[in-house]
């Protein structure tokens, strides 16, 4: 079986940027996302740069059997991941009680269940190759999120899960890193129904910069990577204020984005 780097949510934004960075460093890639056309275009672009052409696997990871089907497709091609990049995810902006329940459940399925399933499905080859897992969370993982309650909660799960997996897999020589960007200009914001304001403009970092820092962090086996200067201060500042103050501040910030 040939080792590859598996990247989910690779059709745009941070996922596509991560694919470019991993390819530049000589990794053979498997790209997973719903949109085959965008994946194929990205694979063609990487191949045109002289890198190995990535394998394209269109899949909707919100579906319960998606991870199993991805595994079967890899096995049929003689491939196994030594690095898994769990980037696929989305958010929804609005009050919890006002948002569609099915869409919120789908968000949990993608942001939490699929990420966990992919980590579990390939943990054996990752450990055997002494590879790594890069989970894309968000600075939202450190905060309560009125106005995006479920999204913030899913990203808190990703942070906690990654730190636990890091402790469990360290004895096997596996690198496990969580990537926690702030606002990033991408399709994510439009899908979430989020209108970036001044706060987002100050903190935002480009997908390419996020991908570069994420790759370097994983290779250096960092616990957490927070791209950009402003974002790095957030966990420190949270220690200075009571939780009730943070809750109110986040709520007011979210309201301004409507």
- Positions annotated as catalytic residues are 151
d(CA 242, CA 85): 34
Question: Burial, 103: exposed, middle or buried (Cβ in 10 Å; 0-12, 13-18, 19+)?
Answer: exposed
Is the four-CA dihedral 241, 145, 158, 206 of positive or negative sign? negative
d(CA 126, CA 174): 7
Question: Burial, 255: exposed, middle or buried (Cβ in 10 Å; 0-12, 13-18, 19+)?
Answer: exposed
CB 225 within 8 A of CB 217: yes
User: Whose CA is closest to 21, among 217, 249, 240?
Assistant: 217
d(CA 135, CA 116): 10
């Amino acid at each position: 079986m040939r080792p590859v780097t598996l990247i989910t949510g690779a059709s745009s934004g941070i996922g596509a940027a991560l694919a470019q960075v991993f390819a530049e460093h000589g990794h053979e890639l498997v790209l997973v996302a719903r949109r085959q056309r965008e994946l194929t275009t990205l694979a063609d672009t990487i191949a045109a740069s002289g890198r190995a052409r990535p394998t394209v696997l269109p899949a909707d990871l919100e579906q319960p059997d998606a991870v199993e089907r991805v595994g079967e497709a890899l096995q049929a091609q003689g491939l196994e991941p030594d690095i898994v990049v769990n980037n696929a995810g989305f958010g929804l902006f609005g009050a919890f009680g006002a948002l569609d329940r099915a869409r919120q459940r789908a968000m949990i399925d993608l942001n939490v269940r699929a990420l966990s399933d992919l980590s579990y499905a390939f943990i054996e080859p990752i450990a055997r190759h002494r590879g790594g897992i890069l989970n894309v969370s968000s600075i939202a993982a450190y905060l309560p999120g009125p106005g995006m309650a479920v999204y913030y909660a899913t990203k808190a799960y990703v942070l906690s899960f990654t730190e636990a997996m890091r402790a469990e897999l360290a004895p096997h020589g596996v690198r496990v890193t969580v990537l926690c960007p702030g606002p990033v200009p991408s399709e994510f914001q439009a899908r979430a129904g989020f209108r970036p304001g001044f706060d987002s403009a100050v903190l935002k970092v480009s997908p390419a910069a996020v991908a570069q820092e994420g790759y370097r962090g994983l290779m250096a086996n960092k616990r957490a990577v927070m791209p950009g200067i402003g974002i790095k201060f957030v966990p420190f500042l949270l220690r200075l204020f009571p939780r009730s103050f943070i809750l109110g501040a986040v709520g007011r910030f979210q309201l301004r984005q409507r």
